[in-house]
Amino acid sequence: MFRVAVMAVLVLLPMCAACGQDKPKETAEQKAVRAYLKENLPSGKFEEIRWWPTKPATAIAPDWSGTVVRLKYRTNNESGGQSVYDHVFTLNGGKIRAHTDDPIQANRDRIFK
């Protein structure tokens, strides 16, 4: 029994040390996208799957300003089931726009290499 307890401590101790580590800092763009989704999704609830690094809007068009963010998330769909979405958002001057069905969305893999 003592061996089992010692083994448990040796296995769990590194995990507990990692628990106290700080999470990555939330960016202003992430906060804005989260607020946008909470306001615009029917349920207001979603699960984040992956964030891509923020890019300057010039990655889309040379004359654009602001930033571009990509997020893959899971939420309820219209029929009550779960769906995964992978959307691009542009942020400029305090305004946010979701690109869900346009050339920017279609080119997201090129923009976020």
- Whether residue 66 lies inside any domain: the answer is yes
Residue with the larger pLDDT of the pair 86 and 14 = 86
Look up residue 63 and give its two tokens: 């004359």
Predicted TM-score (pTM) of the model is 0.74
- Whether residue 18 lies inside any domain: the answer is no
Q: 43 lies in which domain range?
A: 26-111
The answer to whether residue 110 scores a pLDDT higher than 70 is yes
Among 24-28, 64-68, 87-91, where is mean pLDDT lowest? 24-28
Query: b/e for 27-52, b at 16 or more Cβ within 10 A?
Result: eebbebbeeebeeeeeeeebeeeebb
The answer to whether residue 44 scores a pLDDT higher than 70 is yes
What pLDDT is recorded for position 17?
A: 47
What pLDDT is recorded for position 27?
A: 92
- Whether residue 32 lies inside any domain: the answer is yes
- Whether residue 65 lies inside any domain: the answer is yes
| Total tally of structural domains belonging to the chain | 1
